[in-house]
Amino acid sequence: MKIAFVGKGGSGKTTLSSLFIRHLATTGVPVVAIDADINQHLGAALGLEEEQAAALPAMGDHLRLIKDYLRGTNPRIASAETMIKTTPPGEGSRLLRLNEDNPVYDACAHPVELDGGTVRLMVTGPFTDADLGVACYHSKTGAVELFLNHLVDGRDEYVVVDMTAGSDSFASGLFTRFDITFFVAEPTRKGVSVYRQYKQYARDFGVVLRVVGNKVQGQDDLDFLRAEVGDDLLVTVGHSDWVRAMEKGRPPRFELLEDANRRALQLLQVTADATYELRDWHRYTQQMVHFHLKNAASWGNERTGVDLAAQIDPGFVLGEDVAAPA
């Protein structure tokens, strides 16, 4: 299951992603956690020391390896240089599983031990000004998009991405790559207006979007969110002393998380799981092609000097039953 946490800066994306990842870990399922946020804090929120978090290998630094591995023997993709973030898989491409060993994990994933289990953490690497808002060849989130476009994940295995709601994700198809997107919103006008913008982009692509209210104190906050986002509001989370203790570098055992917050995390999982039935790999593949053609025309063809539309394998549909090439 592919799950994104998005929202405006400071809303609590990293906090809620990390709590959800910790929750999943206690259930023993395979989890890949990805930090694709402008502010790279997921490692710290999962309990890494500052130096450990700073030393994590960055996906953005291994784009070449990722591209070379994923293109495999796909004859339509001549080189890593002509593979852009939206280049879709086709016959001969290598696909990724959540729970396997592969060179991408070897290079980019760091095991993080949590109460109950170990998750794989991957980070895009810190963003620079050049990364923001542009459909760029070197885009940091491009590595995440390539990863998701080559991933065949099934039930009961999870990739959780901590991400911004910014224009970076709309420049490509990244925002359409998830079974469900949890939009973290504080009960403020700003938080809600970013949500409306996101919803508008998402509508045309069938993105499943649910709002998670955060830092919600009392009925007035709840009423505000309900009035503003209606039925999209899934659940709300209040101030957590557990989170505050963790922020001080003294994380209590996860089982000590407040009951209401634990129930909220369970609801997130049940809600995510229910989207499995909505999956449509044909549509998923078509959307990759759509965004690839768009990126090819707007900058990719010019940048690479080749016709990137020719990379599309018309007979290929990604799916759990696609045989993996050796």
Residues in contact with ligand ATP by the rule CB under 6 A: 7, 9-15, 37, 39, 41, 214-215, 237, 239-240, 243-244, 247
In the complex with Mg ion, the residue whose CB is nearer, 13 or 23, is 13
In the complex with ligand ATP, the residue whose CB is nearer, 2 or 215, is 215
Q: From the list Mg ion, ligand ATP, none, pick the one residue 85 interacts with, judged by a Cβ distance below 5 to 8 Å according to partner type.
A: none
151 three-class SS: strand
Q: From the list Mg ion, ligand ATP, none, pick the one residue 295 interacts with, judged by a Cβ distance below 5 to 8 Å according to partner type.
A: none
Q: How far apart are CA 174 and CA 86, in angstroms?
A: 9
**Which of residues 37, 145, 153, 186 is near Mg ion by CB under 5 A?**
37
Q: Does 14 bind Mg ion (CB under 5 A)?
A: yes
Phi and psi at residue 214, to the nearest 5°:
-125, 155
Nearest to 238 by CA among 255, 254, 262: 262
Q: How far apart are CA 316 and CA 278, in angstroms?
A: 20
Q: From the list Mg ion, ligand ATP, none, pick the one residue 12 interacts with, judged by a Cβ distance below 5 to 8 Å according to partner type.
A: ligand ATP
6 three-class SS: strand
Q: Nearest distance from residue 27's CB to ligand ATP, in Å? A: 21
203 three-class SS: helix
Q: How far apart are CA 233 and CA 182, in angstroms?
A: 10
Helices and strands: H and E segment counts in the chain: 13, 8
In the complex with ligand ATP, the residue whose CB is nearer, 12 or 187, is 12
Q: Does 214 bind Mg ion (CB under 5 A)?
A: no
Residue found by looking up tokens 């209210």 in the block: 213
Q: Does the CA dihedral 98-285-88-122 come out positive or negative?
A: negative
Residue found by looking up tokens 């045309």 in the block: 204
Q: Nearest distance from residue 197's CB to Mg ion, in Å? A: 19
Q: Nearest distance from residue 125's CB to Mg ion, in Å? A: 14
In the complex with Mg ion, the residue whose CB is nearer, 13 or 150, is 13
In the complex with ligand ATP, the residue whose CB is nearer, 169 or 214, is 214
Residue found by looking up tokens 């940091």 in the block: 140
In this structure, the chain runs to a length of: 326
Q: From the list Mg ion, ligand ATP, none, pick the one residue 141 interacts with, judged by a Cβ distance below 5 to 8 Å according to partner type.
A: none
Q: Nearest distance from residue 45's CB to ligand ATP, in Å? A: 7
Residues contributing to the site for Mg ion (CB under 5 A): 13-14, 37, 39, 41
